[in-house]
Amino acid sequence: MAGKRSVDESFLALPLSALADAALTRAVDLGCEHADLRVERIRTQTVRLRDARLEALADGEDLGLAVRVVHEGTWGFAAGVVLTAAEAVRLAEEAIAVAQVSAAMNTDRVELAPEPVHADGEWVSAYEVDPFAVPDAEKTALLTELSEQLLAADGVEHVSTSVMQVKEQKFYADTAGTRTRQQRVRVHPEFTASTVDRATGTFESMRTLAPPVGRGWEFLTGEGWDWRGELAQLPELLREKVKAPSVEAGRYDVVVDPSNLWLTIHESIGHATELDRALGYEAAYAGTSFATVDKLGSLQYGSPLMNVTGDRTAEHGLSTVGWDDEGVAGQQWDLISDGVLVGYQVDRNMARLRGMDRSNGCSFADSAAHVPVQRMANVSLQPAPDGPSTEELIGGVERGIYVVGDNSWSIDMQRYNFQFTAQRFYKIEGGQLAGQLRDVAYQATTTDFWGSMTAVGGPQTYVLGGAFNCGKAQPGQVAPVSHGCPSALFENTTILNTKQEGGR
Amino acid sequence: MSAMSPQEIVEQALAASTADGQVVYVTDSSEANLRWASNSLTTNGAMRSRQVVVVSFVDGGSGTAVGTVARTGTPDVAELVRASEQAARDAGPAEDAMPLLTEAPPGAGDWDAPAATTSIDVFRDFAPALGEAFGEARSRDQLLFGFAEHQMATTWLGTSTGLRLRHDQPTGRVELNGKSTDFGRSVWAGVGTRDFTDVSVADLAADVAQKMAWSARRVELPAGRYETLLPPSTVSDLMIVAYWAMEARDADEGRSVYARAGGGNRIGERLATLPLTLRSDPHAPGLETSPFQVVGGSSGSASVFDNGMATPAVDWISDGVLTNLVRPRAWAQQQGAPATAALDNLVLEDPTATASTAEMVARTERGLLLTTLWYIREVDPQTLLVTGLTRDGVFLVENGEVTGAVNNFRFNESPVDLLGRATEASRSERTLPREWNDWFTRAAMPMLRVPDFNMSSVSPAS
């Protein structure tokens, strides 16, 4: 069972300690205030089927090491792929050379907030079946069977299937004495059914709602999701979508299902409460944040029903770790309490800049080849302890729309104006679902939207959603992250008709 | 890097093969980068890597199966070959099976030469120049943000059918973002480069300074349809969206903006009113890219069986008419149409255009001049409707001159529709896509004039 697992022997057999000793000793000898070494091995496998036939099975492994230093107050970073002590020493020297070239453009002296030393840490994520221990033929056979059933259904013309699997192993050591070993597993399965009407040249699709999760292959065989149940419903949902009327643009009360709301949380809260964005580190790329530090403790982010936490501890969470990439232990903390901004996600240099006692552990690099930056914790909206069910939320709406499953997403560089679509939108009339609608998008400004949240569902509606591919930093890095949330009601939300938006 | 050369790894993998066919490629890459914010360094790095990819092909009673295994670092080549052959034996017959290619395409590099590399030294002059620009910005009470990156990647591709192909790919980019100290005004300049010898920090800083000056007067405008001048960077981001959707199979199956009502695809149909040509060319000056295909995993737009296929210049749109879609050999054979590969550059050109971008601004009575687009995402694949934001400079043009900076907007538009509505194009110039430059840096585009661009709502962001 989870927790009793240990990091794979084949990773621990790498010369981890020797690399750390070589790199860190060299860095100290050359006068660095701080140095750390990471060794990472990331196994990936993507299985893709098109119309129930295997299109690609791509198996990858990325193994490398990196040295990061603080030298005379300036960062330096160097990465390579040869796991020898000589290369570790060369990387320490190169990282210092990078710091020296960069010093000409540095005016902020880097210092790290303190963290207790974790001298011998080991942590493994909660999963049961290592996907890389399951034979490829067995995986492909299961996906083929499920895809064939879906493809055989009335009204389904095409089926796209994919499963991404990742096993991430990480060794971290720094000059303060922390040494940690970790192993995380995650999977992301998706099935999409499509239909085409050749006469009119139109087509439509419907994708499964199952989230990516920090679990193993057991997620495909019944643990944590009912695949056969969801796939059995997909054809009828698609047929209904094809026949659905186009939405009338205007303002509606909107009940948002967790399968859609997680992404709105990710974009409008998760990124907006990253301190590096608020400080401008991402200003030229991912963007800044309207939630600036002068507003901490006073910004009314949303209605008083809104309570949002950050954590790196949730079981099966994609951002969950034992320690972050600066050796800081995983924690949970408040970002928004009773609708007011009360916290940020930080790393050690930013924690020191803000005068915090300690980092809350949000440093992450997506591979040995990339420098750690502040990345997102699991950012989750808390359910109301005795809150209503989704049906009860819908029951309270006279004229509205129920939003299910994520689809397209876009938000501006300060995290104000966003627009989302979904897998399906239902009309609500007199507290009842009254069939699907087509061509729908919802558009809002972050604080208006969260301010209009007048009911929050109970724990029985709570689902942990998420993504593998959150993008940030230059060079670009991807990070996996989860977002838990209940269903919730948002009053008087702007609904667009996307056909009209396209001028048709 | 390691004791074994990339060429030796390729030969060793091919020699170890017990399958019916093999493609192996090794990519040695090096990179250096600098990132800055608020007139100071934030992150930096110097990285080297090696990736080895083995694709094995196993013939069975009902067809050929494929297995791909990729490893970075210094993998055990024999183990890698075994793993890819096992993966192939575990897979069913591939739908895109074709005989592996035997004919070498023109234009491949010197097989035996060592890898091309870069290092942090590429910034020896750039970093101090940037430091000076920080000082000048500080003296104007302005802040500079941005990123500079240089990469070199050398790929050696070998096949069991005798191909030995090598390509060196340099990639470089610089983005410079200027802001007022309250972040209320924000502008951008960016360039793509092969080697940084053609990058002038002073020119980029002057571009930023001019746009900051244009931003001194602020004009609030509501959502609506505006005559809009789309500069080359914005056109590149939109055309890349149109390009990435150009899979022939999706269109032939009826599920793409390039599908024709009644069946089949829209090749032969006029998309643009202007005589625009959209093309890719491995030898486009300054935008040079691989003259042959390297594919690790099959999809609707590429096939592992096509590794080593020549990627000659191709017109996607010619004189305003859709001319080609991306078509792997197997799908081409099934459809009786030519095989066409996607390339890593894109050029849009109106051969009749004579105006510069500045001349197009000068002949505008009233309109919006954009700088870049951001967060572009597909809303409706049927029409290729995308949404996104204007970013870092929406300028009001009145009587041929910039008279102020306007708030940002969220737009909803289809790049294919825009081709049909554009009424004027400038001469094309090399440009850096803002949205997609993590994946796509090699583009040359004109400015386009669109009489009725759909600004769907106001964004308060700056």
pLDDT digits (tens, 9 = 90+) for A403-459: 999 999 999 999 999 999 999 999 999 999 999 999 999 999 999 999 999 999 999
Extract the tokens encoding A108. 């902020």
Please list the residues that pair with A53 across neighbouring strands: A50
Which residue blocks in B54-166 are alpha helix, DSSP H? 77-90, 126-139
Q: Do A474 and B149 touch (CB under 8 A)?
A: yes
Question: Measured between alpha carbons, how far is A366 from A232 in angstroms, rounded to an integer?
Answer: 36
Classify strands A121-124 and A179-197 as parallel, antiparallel or unpaired.
parallel
Euclidean distance between CA atoms B92 and A137, whole angstroms: 9
Residue of chain A nearest B412, judged by CA positions: A501
DSSP one-letter code for A131: G
CA nearest to A349 within chain B = B42
In DSSP terms, which residues pair with A472 in a beta bridge?
A: A477
Tokens in use for A91? 């990387």
Q: Which residue of B has its CA nearest to A68?
A: B45
In 3D, which of A476, A468, A475, A484 has the Cα closest to residue A184? A468
A100 in Cβ contact with A112 (< 8 Å): no
Q: How far apart are CA B367 and CA B452, in angstroms?
A: 10
- Look at residue A466 and tell me whether its pLDDT is greater than 80: yes
pLDDT of residue A344: 98
Residue whose C-alpha is closest to residue A326's, from A308, A347, A312, A341: A347
- Give me the sign of the Cα torsion angle A347, A352, A356, A357: positive
Please give the Cα distance from B194 to B402 (Å, whole number). 33
Which residue of chain A has the CA closest to B89? A137
Helix axes B77-90, B6-16, angle to 10 degrees: 50
Chain A residues lying within 8 Å of B250, measured CB to CB: none
pLDDT over 70 at A400, yes or no: yes
d(CA B339, CA B409): 41
In this predicted structure, the answer to whether residue A122 has a pLDDT above a threshold of 60 is: yes
Chain B nearest CA to A142, separation (Å): 13
d(CA A229, CA A255): 23
Do B70 and A476 make contact, defined as CB atoms within 8 angstroms?
Answer: no
Residue A336: both structure tokens together: 């928004």
B205 to chain A, closest Cα gap in Å: 14
Q: Do A443 and B457 touch (CB under 8 A)?
A: yes
Kindly give the residue spans of alpha helices, DSSP state H, lying in B185-231: 201-214
B 322-361 residues with CB below 8 A of A? none
Q: B73 CB near a chain A CB, below 8 Å?
A: yes
A441 and B387: CB-CB below 8 Å?
yes
Alpha-helical (H) ranges within A56-164 are 85-102, 136-152
- CA–CA separation, B35 vs B201, rounded Å? 14
Which of chain B's residues have a Cβ under 8 Å away from the Cβ of A81? 1, 48-50, 72-74
A253 - beta bridge partners? A400
Contacts A132 to B, Cβ<8 Å? none
Tell me the two tokens of residue A282: 């991402």
Considering only the beta carbons, identify the residue of B297, B377, B385 that sits closest to A409: B377
Q: Which amino acid is at B387?
A: T
Fill in the DSSP letter of residue B195.
S
Inter-chain CB proximity B145 and A94 less than 8 Å: no
Question: What number of CA atoms fall less than 13 Å from residue B260's CA on the CB side?
Answer: 13
Q: Which residues of A touch B254 (CB under 8 A)?
A: 196-198, 201, 203
> Taking the C-alpha atoms of B106, B110, B114 and B117 in order, what is their torsion angle to the nearest 10 degrees?
-50
Do the Cβ atoms of B411 and B387 come closer than 8 Å?
A: yes
B39: exposed, middle or buried (C-beta count within 10 Å: 0-12, 13-18, 19+)?
A: buried
- The answer, yes or no, to whether residue A170 has pLDDT greater than 60, is yes
B176: nearest Cα among B199, B153, B151: B199
Closest Cα in chain B to A43: B71
Tens digit of each residue's pLDDT (9 = 90 or more) over A191-247: 999 999 988 888 999 999 999 999 999 999 999 999 999 999 999 999 999 999 999
B79 touches chain A (CB under 8 A): no
Measured in angstroms, the CA of B147 and the nearest CA of chain A are apart by: 7
The pLDDT assigned to A385 comes to 97
Which residue in the set A76, A101, A197 is minimally distant from B127, CB to CB? Answer: A101
For position B2, what pLDDT does the model report? Answer: 54
CA distances from B266 to A326, A460, B242, B255, B301 (A): 53, 49, 14, 12, 17
Q: Is the dihedral of CA B392, B396, B399, B403 positive or negative?
A: negative
Distance, in Å, from the CA atom of B18 to the CA atom of B57, rounded to the nearest integer, reads 10
Which two three-digit tokens encode residue A10? 């084949």
- Using a CB-CB cut-off of 8 Å, the residues of chain A touching B95 are 50, 53, 55
Place of tokens 């055309």: B239
Q: Which residue of A has its CA nearest to B249?
A: A50
Do B260 and A61 lie within an 8 Å CB cutoff? Answer: no
Nearest CA in chain B to A501: B412
Torsion angle, CA of B58/B62/B63/B64, rounded to 10 degrees?
-20
Residue B63: strand pairing partners: B60
Contacts of B255 in chain A (CB under 8 A): 158, 194, 196, 203, 205
Taking an 8 Å cut-off on Cβ atoms, the answer to whether A75 and B41 are in contact is yes
The residues pairing with B150 across neighbouring beta strands, listed in sequence order, are B32, B172
- The whole-number pLDDT of residue A200 equals 85
* Tokens 């430091």, residue located: B131
Helix residue spans in A355-437 (DSSP H): 390-395
pLDDT of chain B along its 462 residues, tens only? 457 999 999 999 999 999 999 999 999 999 999 999 999 988 889 999 999 999 999 998 889 999 999 999 889 999 999 999 999 999 989 999 999 999 999 999 999 999 999 999 999 999 999 999 999 999 999 999 999 999 999 999 999 999 999 999 999 999 999 999 999 999 999 999 999 999 999 999 999 999 999 999 999 999 999 999 999 999 999 999 999 999 999 999 999 999 999 999 999 999 999 999 999 999 999 999 999 999 999 999 999 999 999 999 999 999 999 999 999 999 999 999 999 999 999 999 999 999 999 999 999 999 999 999 999 999 999 999 999 999 999 999 999 999 999 999 999 999 999 999 999 999 999 999 999 999 999 999 999 999 999 999 999 998
Whether A410 and B389 lie within 8 Å, measured CB to CB: yes
Integer Cα distance of B453 and B449 in angstroms = 9
**Contact criterion met (CB < 8 Å) for A196 and B255:** yes
Query: Helix, strand, or coil here: B191?
Result: strand
Q: In sequence order, which residues have a C-beta less than 8 Å from that of residue B75 and are 6 or more positions away?
A: A61, B52
Residues in B closer than 8 angstroms to A411, CB to CB, are 375
Residue type present at position A10: S
Output the 3-class SS for A242-297: HHCCECCCEEEEEEECHHHHHHHHHHHHHCCCEHHHHHCCCCCCCCCCCCCHHHCC
Among the partner residues B92, B177, B255, nearest to A203 by beta-carbon distance: B255
Ordered alpha helix ranges (H), B277-354: 329-335
Residues 196 to 235 of B: which have CB under 8 A from any A CB? Answer: none
Task: DSSP for A161-209, please give it.
Answer: EEEEEEEEEEEEEETTS-EEEEEEEEEEEEEEEEEEETTTTEEEEEE--
What are the tokens at A56? Answer: 């690609």
State whether B49 and A99 contact (CB < 8 Å). Answer: no
A298 vs chain B: nearest CA distance in angstroms?
19
Which are the contacts of A25, defined by CB distance < 8 A and separation ≥ 6? Answer: none
The answer to whether the CB atoms of B37 and A441 lie below 8 A apart is no
Chain B: residue whose CA lies nearest to A423: B379
**For A344-353, what is the mean pLDDT?**
97
pLDDT at residue A3 greater than cutoff 70:
no
Q: Which helix (H) or strand (E) holds B290?
A: none
In whole numbers, what is the pLDDT of chain A averaged over residues?
A: 96
Residues B86, B89: Cα–Cα separation, whole Å: 5
Provide the 3-class DSSP secondary structure of residue A419.
Answer: strand
From B262's Cα to the closest Cα of chain A, the distance in A is 5
- Residue B376 host element (H or E): strand B372-380
CB contact under 8 A, A78 and B145: no
Query: Is any Cβ of chain A less than 8 angstroms from the Cβ of B41?
Result: yes
The chain A residue lying nearest B374, using CA atoms, is A412
- Structure tokens given for B213: 């000056």
Model confidence at A2, pLDDT cuts 50, 70, 90, reads very low
Cα gap A481→A471, rounded to integer Å: 11
CA-to-CA distance for A317 and A336, rounded, in angstroms?
A: 20
At residue A368, the 3 state secondary structure works out as coil
Q: What are phi and psi of A9, to 5 degrees?
A: -55, -35
For residue A376 the two structure tokens come to: 């997102």
**H/E element holding A487?**
none
Q: What angle do CA A393, A397, A401 make, to 5 degrees?
A: 90
Q: Which of B330, B304, B23 is nearest to B161 (CA)?
A: B23
Q: Do A200 and B456 touch (CB under 8 A)?
A: no
State residue A97's pLDDT score: 95
Half-sphere exposure of A378 (CA within 13 A, CB side): 26
A85 Cα to chain B: minimum distance (Å): 13
| Structure token digits, residue A161 | 């299937």
What is the dihedral sign for C-alpha B93, B98, B103, B107?
A: negative
Q: Are strands A453-456 and A488-497 parallel, antiparallel or unpaired?
A: antiparallel
Instruction: Give the Cβ contact number of residue A140 at 10 Å.
Output: 18
What is the residue whose two structure tokens read 């992450």? A364
**What is the identity of the amino acid at A146?**
L
Is the pLDDT score of A1 beyond 60?
no
Q: Are A191 and A106 contacting, i.e. CB atoms less than 8 angstroms apart?
A: no
Of B45, B374, B417, the CB nearest to A502: B417
DSSP state of B104: P
Res A158: pLDDT = 98
pTM of the model: 0.96
Q: Do A499 and B387 touch (CB under 8 A)?
A: no
